[in-house]
């Protein structure tokens, strides 16, 4: 564990402790923000290797619908089982399509990923049994059998805990050889290959990791919002995740969570105060970020601390 | 037998729509290597502009055919302005940066323009059905075909031929082809790549707005039409090969016919089929049907 | 003595183009071979086939009595054959030290499980330092690879190929892009480093004086095949080699120290 990990852990503990004192709408917003941040975390892992998939919504929706289906047809209600189910279902899908997807790069990688997510969207939209475009309701989850009054807070702590664990694991991963090779791969893939590494296999692993993270994010989202619908697989959902990833920058794990929170806040404010222009505001934020803070929020943070080594 | 005929005619009409929507996108990608998400906005602006023009025109009892012409003219004007403003104002700021970043800039522009549409035209839907109704229909046995659909197919064919011919046989077209092939060498030969970029983007924008304008009579012009179109255009362009006009034709035909078959035979697969075809093509030809893979140089 | 590398009847065609044909060579261990020939004569094709970048159309390649024909590059590297590149292939956004760490870490990660060990282990950094010292580029340790002078970039490229203790090293035009005054200095550093590691070396070179100075043996390529094979004094004096490749200007007296 590095110093950064400890600081992050403290931040999570602080957030958990402060939550009961905060207004309900903020806790709700933060819960969704952190659930979505997991998807962004997966995107950061891939972006460090030079790949930006435009279809992470595939895994997000897989996790979400898996949870919803388990709740409705298998009577599963326990949230911990749900998370695992979301992770496994998305992970398996990622592993399978990874055999194909890991061979592509640049814009073609992005496009194939997009195609995959739109295939799922097409299936979901046309499936009557799954409610077509309306989706269907997800029953509230139970915590190891317990279903109490403080559900919102419990969900927040659940999401927070999951994020803390995920953040730690990803942080450790990025310091291993497999994780750290992302930057050499992005710089010069042929060279990495000639050093003796199968780059395709490396990318396959990263796809699975990011798929699992997105699946967990989707599962949590389904539990929080208590509803799933095909738009969770639509390209605009994927676009939103990429948006936050750019906002975060690829430099740190913390960036995913900070950027996701900022995004949800900005979107919330825009939708509630200036409803006719929220897309304009978000679009402008993205544009300004790309133009003026191209390395994302994590780079702003790094300017105040000593520069982290690239490897 | 009737079903087969219906599939073919539906498929052709849908393919015409796809081609009109995709040709501008593939041109911009081929020359500038930019996957232009704002293309959806061009389409939408074209449709809304056409709807407004049609609304004004048909109130005055002028000849029907003129309405169609007016739609095209408005589309060209809107496309020109929009394309110019976007390329000179926004894209110019991020040339040379990573491909994905440029795509995201176009995505940001798309989001902004979505709300600009609302600011200009409000949230209500518009109808521009007059040209389609005015064109009438013909009967082929048991099938009723709208003349407007036939017109669309003719227009798409015309544009395909003109674009293809222009790229191969006009001086400027050949310049564009050179830049598509190797931008650096083209610049070294004295080709003003900056101007080429601007011109290409504006042409691509105009093709996009024309696509929206001619489709306006067939759809309900409302919020969100750009969103769907983008990903359809991507599918066609990725299938056919990015930067290839022939590819856009073939891609549009394949996707159009496949979708028509699905609609008539397995309606639940309608959306799935489009992206499944795209994924299938990409599996065997990662760069699309009509692009040569560039060899790795070491 | 069994040759460390054995190439038999190697051929590579691209459609109608025959890039290499009928290449047969036996390389004894620790020999230094200079590979000469005009551009397009087949030298790089030859190297690309040995290192797995290209799959031969016909023929076989044996390394330490193991068939490596057509295997992918990463396997061939793991087996013990490394290469450097005509255009130095480094990681531009990392410093020279970080470049070496990456190469050293990969070299030490002999199996899949070790890919999940931390990158910056003491062993990795020590190995990186050793290589940096060996190639005398310590001065540039913390410089970004994208801003390194050309000579140092080429040394880094070679150092990264060598850190994994290969038995054979193929150098593709190690002095290309280097000014004439600096070529010999660069090759001095490289060759003494390689000799100290007891490597078998094949290097592609256009400068005949460098070849004469550093090679034990010369392979001359022309039109996809080998037209001369022998010690430099003999091969470079060969009439065909002189008329097709090197020209007839006499060499300087310092040839072959």
Domain extent for B127: 2-284
Q: Is the model's pLDDT at A304 over the cut of 70?
A: no
- Under the banding of pLDDT at 50, 70 and 90, the label for residue B241 is confident
Q: What is the DSSP string of chain A?
A: --HHHHHHHHHHHHHHHHGGGS-HHHHHHHHHHHHHHHHHHHHHHHHHTT---S-THHHHHHHHHHHHHHHHHS---BHHHHHHHHHHHHHHHHHHHHHHHTT--HHHHHHHHHHHHHHHHHHHHH-GGGTGGG-EE-PPPBBTTB--S-HHHHHHHHHHHHHHHHHHHHHHHHHBHHHHTHHHHHH-HHHHHHHT--HHHHHHHHHHHHHHHHHHHHHHHHHHH-EE-GGGGSHHHHHHHHHHHHHH-SS-SHHHHHHHHHHHHHHHHHHHHSGGGHHHHHHHHHHHHHHH-TT-HHHHHHHHSPPPP--
Highest mean pLDDT among A130-144, A218-232, A297-311, C108-122 belongs to A218-232
pLDDT tens figures, C190-199: 999 998 888 9
Specify the DSSP class assigned to residue B247: H
Interface of B with A in 180-239 (CB under 8 A): 227, 230-231, 234-235, 238
Question: Residues C224-231: what's their mean pLDDT?
Answer: 91
- Cα A225 to Cα A67: distance, rounded to the nearest angstrom: 12
- Name the residue facing A107 among B99, B227, B298 (closest C-beta): B99
Pick among A55, A96, A111 to test the B interface (most B CBs inside 10 A): A111
* Residue C98 pLDDT: 94
Using a CB–CB cutoff of 8 Å, tell me whether B281 touches chain A.
no
CB-based contact C89 A196, cutoff 8 Å: no
Q: Which of A300-309, B24-33, B101-110, B162-171 has the lowest mean pLDDT?
A: A300-309
CA distances (Å), origin B12, targets B9, B156, B243, B266: 5, 10, 22, 18
Task: Write the CATH number for C176.
Answer: 3.40.50.300
Please give the tally of structural domains in chain C: 1
pLDDT tens, residue by residue, C236-245: 888 888 888 7
- Binned at pLDDT 50, 70 and 90, residue A310 comes out as low
CATH number for the domain harbouring residue B118:
1.10.3470
Chain C touched by A177 (CB under 8 Å):
yes
Nearest residue to A176 via CA among C119, C101, C111, C105: C119
Could you tell me what percent of chain B has a pLDDT over 90? 39
Radius of gyration in angstroms for the set of CA atoms belonging to chain B, rounded to a whole number: 19
pLDDT digits (tens, 9 = 90+) for A9-50: 888 888 888 888 888 889 999 999 999 999 999 999 999 999
Q: Answer whether B93 touches C (CB < 8 Å).
A: no
Percent of chain A whose predicted confidence (pLDDT) is above 90: 66
pLDDT of residue C36: 93
Closest-CA distance of chain B to residue C23, Å: 22
User: Nearest-CA residue of chain B relative to C88?
Assistant: B298
3-state secondary structure A14-81: HHHHHHHHCCHHHHHHHHHHHHHHHHHHHHHHHHHCCCCCCCCHHHHHHHHHHHHHHHHHCCCCEHHH
Interface probe, candidates C53, C80, C91, chain A, greatest A C-beta count within 10 A: C91
Question: How close is the nearest chain B Cα to the Cα of A287, in Å?
Answer: 6
How many residue pairs bridge chain A and chain C with CB atoms within 8 Å of each other? 86
Nearest CA-CA partner of B116 in C122, A276, C152: A276
Give B124 to chain A, closest Cα distance, Å. Answer: 13
- Backbone φ, ψ for residue C19 (5° rounding): -80, -30
Give me the pLDDT at residue C253, please: 54
Which tens digit of pLDDT belongs to each residue from A187-220?
A: 999 999 999 999 999 999 999 999 999 999 999 9
B250 pLDDT exceeds 50? yes
Whether the per-residue pLDDT at B34 is higher than 50: the answer is: yes
Inter-chain touch A176–C89, beta carbons under 8 Å: no
Residue C253 located in a structural domain? no
> Chain C contacts of A178, Cβ < 8 Å?
115-116
Tally the domains of chain B.
1
pLDDT tens string A76-128: 888 899 999 999 999 999 999 999 999 999 888 998 999 999 999 999 988 87
Q: CA B226: distance to chain centroid?
A: 11
The pLDDT value recorded for residue A161 is: 93
Q: What's residue C67's pLDDT? A: 93
pLDDT at B294 over 60: no
In this predicted model, which residue has the larger pLDDT, B68 or A160? A160
Q: Is the pLDDT of residue C255 over 70?
A: no
Of A180, A192, A196, the CB nearest to C119: A180
CB atoms within 10 A of CB B9: 17
pLDDT at residue C257, as a whole number:
45
- Site from B39, B282, B283, B288 to mutate, A interface, most A CB atoms within 10 angstroms: B282
Q: How far apart are CA A33 and CA A258, in angstroms?
A: 9
B1 interfacial to chain A (CB closer than 8 Å): no
**A311 pLDDT exceeds 90?**
no
Place A305 in a pLDDT band, splitting at 50, 70 and 90: low
pLDDT at site C5? 93
When CB atoms are compared, the residue of B111, B275, B296 closest to A283 is B111
Higher pLDDT among residues B233 and C243, named by residue: B233
B148 within some domain: yes
3-state secondary structure of B143: strand
With an 8 Å Cβ cutoff, is B104 touching chain A?
A: yes
Listed range (A227-241, C73-87, C105-119, C158-172) with the worst mean pLDDT = C105-119
Minimal Cβ distance to C74: which of A180, A181, A197: A197
Nearest CA in chain B to A51: B100
Closest-CA distance of chain B to residue C84, Å = 10
pLDDT, tens only, C179-190 = 888 899 999 999
Query: pTM value?
Result: 0.91
| Least confidently predicted of B13-17, C113-117, C185-189 | C113-117
Which of A169, A183, A196, A203 has the most C C-beta neighbours within 10 Å, making it the best mutation to test the interface with C? A196
Residues of A in contact with B111 (CB under 8 A): 279-280, 282-283, 286
Per-residue pLDDT band at A159 (split at 50, 70, 90) = very high
What is the distance between the alpha carbons of residues A168 and A174, in angstroms, rounded to a whole number?
A: 10
Indicate if the pLDDT at residue C80 is higher than 70: yes
Per-residue pLDDT for C115 more than 90? no
Residue A56 in contact with residue A113, Cβ under 8 Å? yes
> Is B24 part of a structural domain of the chain?
yes
What does the pLDDT look like over B263-293, one tens digit per residue?
888 888 888 888 998 888 888 887 788 876 5
Q: What is the pLDDT of residues B144-172, one digit of tens each?
A: 788 888 888 999 999 999 998 988 888 88
Q: Compute φ and ψ for B221, nearest 5 degrees.
A: -80, 105
Mean pLDDT calculated for residue range C71-97: 93
More confident residue, C67 or C246: C67
Yes or no, beta carbons of A108 and B274 under 8 Å apart: no
Cβ pair A177:C117 closer than 8 A = yes
Radius of gyration of chain A (CA): 19
* pLDDT for B296: 47
Q: What is the mean pLDDT of chain A?
A: 90
pLDDT band at residue C62 under the 50/70/90 scheme: very high
Cβ within 8 Å, pair A187-C118: no
Residue in B35, B112, B283 closest to A283 by CB: B112
Give me the mean pLDDT over the C24-41 stretch: 91
- The pLDDT-based confidence of A145 (bands split at 50, 70, 90) is low
pLDDT score of A306 more than 60? no
Residues of A in contact with C159 (CB under 8 A): none
Chain A contact for C126 (CB, 8 A cutoff)? no
Q: Which residues in A have their CB inside 8 Å of a CB on B?
A: 52, 100, 103-104, 106-108, 110-112, 114-116, 118-119, 121-123, 125-127, 190, 235-236, 239, 242-243, 246, 276-280, 282-284, 286-287, 290-291, 294
Residues B217, A5: Cα–Cα separation, whole Å: 58
> In this complex, do A115 and B238 lie within 8 Å of one another by their Cβ atoms?
yes
Inside any domain, residue C256: no
C248 pLDDT more than 80: no
Q: Which domain holds residue C133?
A: 5-246
Which of B:259-298 have CB within 8 Å of C?
298
The answer to whether A176 contacts C115, with C-beta atoms less than 8 Å apart, is yes
* Chain C touching partners, 3 or more CB pairs below 8 A: A, B
């Amino acid at each position: 564990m590095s110093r950064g990990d400890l600081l992050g852990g403290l931040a999570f503990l602080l957030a958990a402790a402060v939550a009961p004192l905060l207004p309900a709408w903020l806790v709700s917003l933060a819960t969704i923000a952190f659930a979505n941040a997991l998807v962004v975390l997966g995107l950061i892992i891939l972006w460090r290797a030079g790949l930006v998939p435009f279809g992470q919504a595939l895994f997000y929706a897989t996790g979400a619908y898996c949870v919803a289906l388990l709740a409705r047809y298998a009577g599963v209600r326990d949230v911990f089982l749900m998370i695992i189910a979301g992770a496994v279902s998305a992970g398996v899908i990622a592993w399978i399509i990874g055999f194909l997807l890991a061979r592509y790069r640049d814009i073609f990688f992005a496009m194939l990923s997009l195609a995959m997510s739109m295939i799922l969207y097409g299936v979901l939209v046309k499936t009557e049994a799954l409610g077509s475009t309306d989706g269907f309701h997800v029953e509230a989850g139970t915590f190891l059998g317990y279903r109490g009054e403080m559900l919102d807070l419990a969900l927040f702590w659940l999401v927070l805990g999951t994020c803390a664990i995920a953040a730690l694991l990803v942080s450790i991963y990025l310091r291993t050889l497999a994780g750290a090779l992302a930057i050499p791969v992005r710089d010069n893939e042929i060279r990495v290959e000639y050093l003796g590494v199968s780059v395709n296999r490396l990318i396959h692993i990263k796809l699975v990791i990011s798929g699992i993270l997105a699946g967990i994010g989707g599962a949590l989202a389904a539990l929080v919002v208590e509803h799933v619908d095909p738009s969770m697989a639509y390209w605009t959902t994927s676009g939103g995740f990429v948006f936050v990833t750019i906002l975060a920058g690829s430099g740190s794990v913390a960036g995913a969570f900070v950027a996701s929170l900022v995004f949800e806040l900005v979107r919330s404010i825009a939708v509630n105060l200036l409803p006719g222009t929220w897309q304009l505001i978000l679009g402008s934020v993205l544009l300004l970020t790309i133009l003026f803070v191209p390395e994302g929020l994590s780079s702003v943070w790094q300017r105040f601390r000593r520069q982290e080594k690239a490897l | 037998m009737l079903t087969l005929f219906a599939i073919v005619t539906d498929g052709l009409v849908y393919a015409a729509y796809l081609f009109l929507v995709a040709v501008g996108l593939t041109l911009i990608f081929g020359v500038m290597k930019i996957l232009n998400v704002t293309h959806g906005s061009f389409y939408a602006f074209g449709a809304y502009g056409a709807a407004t023009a049609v609304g004004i025109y048909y109130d005055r009892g002028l000849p029907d055919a003129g309405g169609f012409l007016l739609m095209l003219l408005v589309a060209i004007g809107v496309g020109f302005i929009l394309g110019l403003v976007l390329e000179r104002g926004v894209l110019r700021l991020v040339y040379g940066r990573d491909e994905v970043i440029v795509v995201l800039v176009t995505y940001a522009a798309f989001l902004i323009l979505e709300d600009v549409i609302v600011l200009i035209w409000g949230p209500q839907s518009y109808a521009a059905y007059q040209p389609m109704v005015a064109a009438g229909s013909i009967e082929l046995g048991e099938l009723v075909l709208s003349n407007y659909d036939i017109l669309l197919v003719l227009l798409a064919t015309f544009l395909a031929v003109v674009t293809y011919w222009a790229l191969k046989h006009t001086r400027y077209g050949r310049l564009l082809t050179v830049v598509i092939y190797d931008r650096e060498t083209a610049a070294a030969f004295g080709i003003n790549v900056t101007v080429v970029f601007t011109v290409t983007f504006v042409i691509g924008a105009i093709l996009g707005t024309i696509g929206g304008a001619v489709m306006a009579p067939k759809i309900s012009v409302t919020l969100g039409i750009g969103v769907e179109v983008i990903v359809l255009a991507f599918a066609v362009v990725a299938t056919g090969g990015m930067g290839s006009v022939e590819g856009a034709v073939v891609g549009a035909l394949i996707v159009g016919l496949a979708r028509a078959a699905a609609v008539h035979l397995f309606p639940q697969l309608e959306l799935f089929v489009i992206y499944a075809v795209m994924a299938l093509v990409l599996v065997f030809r990662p760069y699309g049907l009509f692009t040569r893979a560039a060899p790795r140089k070491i | 003595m069994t040759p460390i590398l054995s190439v038999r009847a190697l051929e590579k065609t691209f459609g109608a183009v025959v890039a290499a044909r009928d290449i047969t060579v036996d390389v004894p261990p620790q020999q230094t071979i200079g590979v000469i020939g005009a551009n397009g004569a087949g030298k790089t094709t030859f190297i690309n086939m040995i290192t797995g970048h290209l799959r031969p159309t016909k023929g076989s390649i044996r390394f330490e009595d193991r068939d490596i024909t057509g295997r992918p590059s990463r396997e061939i590297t793991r087996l013990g054959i490394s290469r450097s590149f005509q255009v130095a292939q480094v990681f531009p956004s990392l410093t020279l030290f970080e470049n070496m760490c990456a190469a050293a870490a990969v070299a030490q990660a002999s199996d899949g499980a070790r890919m999940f060990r931390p990158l910056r282990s003491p062993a990795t950094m020590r190995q990186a330092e050793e290589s940096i010292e060996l190639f005398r580029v310590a001065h540039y340790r913390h410089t970004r690879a994208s801003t390194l002078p050309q000579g140092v970039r080429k040394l880094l490229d070679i150092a990264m190929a060598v850190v994994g203790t290969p038995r054979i090293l193929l150098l593709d035009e190690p002095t290309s892009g280097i000014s004439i005054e600096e070529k010999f200095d660069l090759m001095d550093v490289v060759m003494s480093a390689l000799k100290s590691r007891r490597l078998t070396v094949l290097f592609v070179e256009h400068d005949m004086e460098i070849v004469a100075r550093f090679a034990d043996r010369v392979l001359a390529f022309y039109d996809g095949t080998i037209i001369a094979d022998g010690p430099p004094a003999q091969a470079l004096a060969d009439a065909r080699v002189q008329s097709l490749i090197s020209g007839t200007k006499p060499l300087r007296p310092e040839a072959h120290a």
